[in-house]
Structure 1
Amino acid sequence: MPKNLFLYTIVAALGGFLFGFDTAVINGALPFFRDHFELDKVMEGWAMSSAIFGCIIGAIGVGRLGDKYGRRAMLKITALLFLISALGTGLAGNISFFIIFRIIGGLAVGGASVLSPMYISEVAPPKYRGRFTILFQLSLVIGILVAFATDLALINSGINNWRWMFISEAAPATLFFVLLFFVGRSPRWLVKKGLNEEAQLVIDQTNAGNNNVHLLEEIQNSIDNEVVEHIKYLFKKPFLRLVIIGVLIGMFNQFTGIAVVMIYSSDIFRAAGFGTESAILQTVIVGFTNLGFTILAMAFIDKIGRKIMLLLGSVGMTIFLGIFSYIFLFNVGGFMPLVFMIAFVACFAFSQGAVVWVLFAEMFPNNIRSRGVSIGSFSHWVFYAILLFLFPVIQKSFNDNRGIGYVFAFFAVFTFISFFFFKKYIVETKGKTLEELERDTLKQ
C-alpha cells in the first residue's frame, strides 16, 4: 500500500478530529464560562447552540468553494477558522465576542464535514476507500473523547480553566494547517482544472497497480465542465434524484436520535433515576462504545459493504430504540436504560455512524460531488439543530418521563422506515472506482 496514501488520509482525517473536539469541548467548559459571563438560560442556550448555525452555513457554502479553489486549499482555510475560533473563544472578553467565535468554529466544523471525507474518497483506491474514509468518523469520535479528557485535565487549572479548555484546540488546528502543505491536491479536482500531469502524479502516489493511466482517462471522461460550473444541473435529471437521496440520508441519520443521545445522555440517565456522577460515567461508557464499534466498522466496511451494514444497523437500532422507549413510557428501572442505550449506540456506530459520511463522499458523480456532499451535510446539520432544540421542549411538556419515551418511539419508527429506504435507493459502493459508481448510480 503506498505510504503517501496513509499520510494524505490521516492529515485529512484531522478535520474530523477537530470537528469532534470543537463540538465537545464546550460541554466541560459550560459551568465556568456561564458563571464568568453571568448568563441567563436564554443566553446560555444561545452560547451552546450558536456554533450549529455556523455548521449549517459552512456545510452549504463550502461545496462551491471546494470546486473553485480545491479541497486542499479550503481545508487550509478550515484549519485557520478552527485556530481563530479556539483563540477567540478562549480570549473573549464578553459573551458577544464569545458567540461570534463559536459561530466561526461552526463554519469550520461544517466545512470539515464536507471536505475531509470527500478529499479522502477522491485520493483513496477502491479497495481501501471505505476504511480510509471511515477514518474521518473515527477521528471525530476520538476528538470528542480527547475534548472530554482535556476538560477533565484542566478543570482544576484555576479561574481561567474554561479559557484554556478552548485555547487547547489551537494546537491540533495548527498541526492540521501545517500538515496540509505536505499532501497532494485531489486528483479529481485537478482533472476538472485541466492539471492532468499533477493529477497523474497524485494517482501514482496513492494507488498501487498498473491501471493508473486508465484511471486518469476514466476521470477525464467523467468530467463535464458545463455541469461543474452551473448549479442548475443539480436540480435536473439525472442528478436531482441523487440530491434528494442525499437530503433524505441526512434526515434519516439524525432521526435515529444519535445527536440527542450524545448531547443529552447525562440528562436522560438522570431522568432514569441515576445520580449526576453516575450519569456522567455512563455517558463516558457510551462514548467508548461509539469508538469501539467505529473501529470494528473499519474492519468490515470494505468486506461486507455499505448497504448491508446500513440494513443490519437499521434493524438493530429499531429494536433497541423501541425497547428504550418502552423503558421510559412504563418506568422500567435499574440499569436497563444503560444496557439498551449502549446497544443502540453500538448498532449506530457500526452502521450509519460509520457509513453515512462514506456514502456522501462516494455517491455523487465527479461533476457535482462537492456540491452534492455539501447538500447532504447541510441536511445533516439542519435536522441536528431541529432535534437538539425540540428534545428539551418535548421532554418538559410532560410531568414525567413519558416525553423521553415518545421521542424515542418517534426515532424507532423513522429508523424502521429507513431500512426500506436504504434497501431500495442505496447502491452498493464497495470495491468500485468513483467513476464506476457514477455509471451505476446514474442508471437508476
Structure 2
Amino acid sequence: MSSSKSFNSSYIIGISFISALGGYLFGFDFAVISGALPFLRTQFALTPVWEGFLTGSLALGCIVGCLFAGNIADKYGRKPGLIIAALIFAVSSIGIAFSTSLTYFLILRFAAGIGVGMASMLCPMYIAEVSPAEVRGRNVAINQLTVVIGILITNLVNYFLADHGADSWRWMFGLGAVPSAVFLIGVTWLPESPRWLMKSGQTDKALTILNKIGSPDFAESTFKAVKKSLAGSTKQSYAMVFEKAVRPAVVVGITLAVFQQFCGSNILFNYASTIFQAAGSSVNHQLLETVFIGLVNLVFTILAMFMVDKLGRRPLMLIGSIGLSVSFIVLAFLLQNHASVILLSTFVLLAISVYSFTLAPVTWVLISEIFPNKIRGVASSVAIVSLWLAYFILVFTFPILAEKLGTYGPFYMYAGICFAGFLFVKAKVKETKGQTLEELEDNLIRH
C-alpha cells in the first residue's frame, strides 16, 4: 500500500484504543491477584497448594478462552467476540467481589480467565485487521502498552485500598467492573473487521468501513489486496501444525512461548507480596513494591517498543535470558541470606526491567512473525495456549516449591532455565528484523 494513499488517523487510533482496552483488562486481572493475596490467605485459610491453584486458575480459563475465541471470531466476527469478552470481564469482576467461598471464587476467577484469553487473541487481531500497513505495528503495540498500564494502575489501586480492612480484596476485584463497562460500551461502537466482512461475503459493508478508515483510493486498493489474499486462502486445521515441513518453526514458537513463562519473571508480578513478606516487609510495603514493579514494567515496555526494530529480536532475547539468569542467582542469594529489603527490591526491579525490555514483548513479536502463512492462525493459537499452560504450571508450583525449598530456592531453578533458554535462542532462533514474512518462512523452514 502506498503512503500517498491517505487515511483517517484519528478514527483508526480511536478504534485501536477502544479495542486495546481489552489489553487493559488483561493487565488488571493479571495484576490484581498480587495485591489481594495477603488478604485471601486469611479469608480462605489458603495452603500453599490452594494459593498456587487460586493464582493459576486464571490461566486455565485463558486456555479455554483462546481456544474458543478463534471459533467465535471466524464464525460470527471479531466484534461479537470482543463483546462477549467485555461481558465476561464485567460479570466476573462483580462476582468475585461478592465471593462467599473458595469454590465460588475459583469458578469466577476461571471465568475471568476466559475473558483474558479471548482478549489476548482478539484485540491484537482486530487492531491489525483495521489498521493500514503504515501504522499497523504501532497500533498493535498499543495493546501491549494498555496491558502494562492496566498492571500499573491496578497495583496503585491495590496499594491505596490496602488500609481498608480485611475486605479490601473485594474492592480490588470489584473495581474491575468500571473499565469493563467502558470497554463494553466502546466495543458496541466499533465497526466489524473489513477483512472478516469480506471473508463472510459482506463486501458492501467492508467497503463502507474501508472508506471510513481512509480515502477512496486507499479503500479500493485495500479491498483489492484483501480480495486477492482471500482467493488463495485455505481452511486451516490443527493437523497442519504437525507437518514435517513446518515443524522447525512450530517447535521454535512453542518453546519460546513456554520459555517466556518458565523463565520465572511472572513470579515477581504475581507473588511480589510473598517475596517481600519473606523478607519481613509489612503488607503496605509489599503493595508499594508492586507499584514500583508496575512503573519499571511500563518504562521498559515503552523503551522496547522503540528498540525492537532497531536492535533486533535475537540480541534482545539473548540479553534477556542471560540477564535474568544472573539477576535470579543474585536474588536467590539475597533472599537466602536475609539481605536488606532495599537491596532485595533493587534486584527485583532489575529483573523486571530486563524482562520487560526483552522476553516479555519480543516473544509476542516472534510468535506473530515466525510461522508460515498457511498455518499462522492455528500455530499462533497452539503457541499461546502453550504459554498459558506454562504460566499455570509456574504460578501453581511456586508456593509449593517455596515451602519446600525456601522462598529463595525456586529462583536458583529459574536461573538455570534462563541459561538453558539462552543456549536455545543462540542455537535455534534466527534474526527476523527487516525481512518479509515470506523471506522468514523460507529461512526458518530451511533450518
TM range (shorter): 0.7 to 0.9
C-alpha displacement of 1:158? 5.8
Please, what is the CA RMSD of the aligned residues?
3.2
Q: Which amino acid aligns with 1:287?
A: G
Contact residue 58 and residue 111 of structure 1 kept, 8 A: yes
Q: Which amino acid aligns with 2:71?
A: R
256-265 or 330-339, which deviates more: 330-339
C-alpha displacement of 1:314? 2.6
Q: Which amino acid aligns with 2:142?
A: L
User: TM-score, normalized by length of structure 2?
Assistant: 0.84
Contact residue 317 and residue 358 of structure 2 kept, 8 A: yes
C-alpha displacement of 1:82? 0.7
1:262 to 269, 273, 277: 269
2:417 to 398, 411, 415: 411
Question: Could you tell me how far apart the structure 2 residues matched to 1:395 and 1:247 are?
Answer: 27
Question: Could you tell me how far apart the structure 1 residues matched to 2:83 and 2:54 are?
Answer: 26
C-alpha displacement of 1:142? 1.4
- SS, match of residue 267 in structure 2: helix
Question: Could you tell me how far apart the structure 2 residues matched to 1:328 and 1:159 are?
Answer: 31
- Alignment match, 2:91: 84
Contact residue 28 and residue 148 of structure 1 kept, 8 A: yes
Question: Could you tell me how far apart the structure 2 residues matched to 1:385 and 1:362 are?
Answer: 25
Measured against aligned partners, the alpha-carbon deviations of 1:241-283 in whole angstroms (never above 9, x if no partner) come to 5443331221122233221221223433455676665554333
Contact residue 320 and residue 358 of structure 2 kept, 8 A: no
Q: Which amino acid aligns with 1:218?
A: A
1:18 to 4, 19, 25: 25
Q: Which amino acid aligns with 1:321?
A: S
Cα 1:323–1:3 change in 2 (3 A) is: closer
1:111 to 100, 113, 118: 118
Give the gaps of 5 or more residues in structure 2: 1-7
Measured against aligned partners, the alpha-carbon deviations of 1:81-102 in whole angstroms (never above 9, x if no partner) come to 1112112112233332222111
Contact residue 327 and residue 351 of structure 2 kept, 8 A: no
C-alpha displacement of 1:120? 1.6
Cα 1:350–1:127 change in 2 (3 A) is: farther
Cα 1:419–1:147 change in 2 (3 A) is: same
Cα 1:299–1:8 change in 2 (3 A) is: same
- SS, match of residue 128 in structure 1: helix
Question: Could you tell me how far apart the structure 2 residues matched to 1:223 and 1:43 are?
Answer: 48
Give the gaps of 5 or more residues in structure 1: none
Superposition pairs for residues 215-254 of structure 1, below 5 Å? 215-223=222-230, 227-228=234-235, 230-236=237-243, 240-254=247-261
Cα 1:43–1:387 change in 2 (3 A) is: closer
- Alignment match, 1:164: 171
C-alpha displacement of 1:162? 3.0
> Is it true that 1:427 corresponds to 2:432 in the alignment?
yes
Contact residue 222 and residue 366 of structure 1 kept, 8 A: no
- SS, match of residue 271 in structure 2: helix
Contact residue 15 and residue 190 of structure 2 kept, 8 A: yes
Question: Could you tell me how far apart the structure 2 residues matched to 1:187 and 1:369 are?
Answer: 19
Question: Could you tell me how far apart the structure 2 residues matched to 1:33 and 1:343 are?
Answer: 28
Contact residue 27 and residue 146 of structure 2 kept, 8 A: yes
Contact residue 34 and residue 271 of structure 2 kept, 8 A: no
Measured against aligned partners, the alpha-carbon deviations of 1:58-105 in whole angstroms (never above 9, x if no partner) come to 123322332222222111111111112112112233332222111110
210-219 or 16-25, which deviates more: 210-219
224-233 or 139-148, which deviates more: 224-233
Contact residue 134 and residue 298 of structure 1 kept, 8 A: yes
Contact residue 118 and residue 361 of structure 1 kept, 8 A: no
Contact residue 87 and residue 166 of structure 1 kept, 8 A: yes
C-alpha displacement of 1:26? 3.0
Cα 1:7–1:252 change in 2 (3 A) is: same
- Alignment match, 1:185: 192
Measured against aligned partners, the alpha-carbon deviations of 1:129-157 in whole angstroms (never above 9, x if no partner) come to 22221222211111122222223343455
Measured against aligned partners, the alpha-carbon deviations of 1:402-442 in whole angstroms (never above 9, x if no partner) come to x2452232133134125326742x533x6x8xxx62x3344
- SS, match of residue 26 in structure 1: helix
- Alignment match, 1:95: 102
- Alignment match, 1:314: 318
Contact residue 65 and residue 116 of structure 2 kept, 8 A: yes
2:157 to 150, 154, 157: 150
C-alpha displacement of 1:165? 2.5
Measured against aligned partners, the alpha-carbon deviations of 1:41-73 in whole angstroms (never above 9, x if no partner) come to 554443333222111221233223322222221
Identity %: 33
Question: Could you tell me how far apart the structure 1 residues matched to 2:237 and 2:231 are?
Answer: 11
Question: Could you tell me how far apart the structure 2 residues matched to 1:388 and 1:225 are?
Answer: 42
267-276 or 5-14, which deviates more: 267-276
23-32 or 61-70, which deviates more: 23-32
- Alignment match, 1:2: 9
Cα 1:319–1:23 change in 2 (3 A) is: closer
Measured against aligned partners, the alpha-carbon deviations of 1:336-364 in whole angstroms (never above 9, x if no partner) come to 44334323322322233223334444555
C-alpha displacement of 1:370? 4.0
Aligned residues: 433
Q: Which amino acid aligns with 1:152?
A: Y
Cα 1:312–1:80 change in 2 (3 A) is: same
- Alignment match, 1:291: 298
- SS, match of residue 84 in structure 1: helix
- Alignment match, 2:442: 443
Q: Which amino acid aligns with 1:312?
A: L
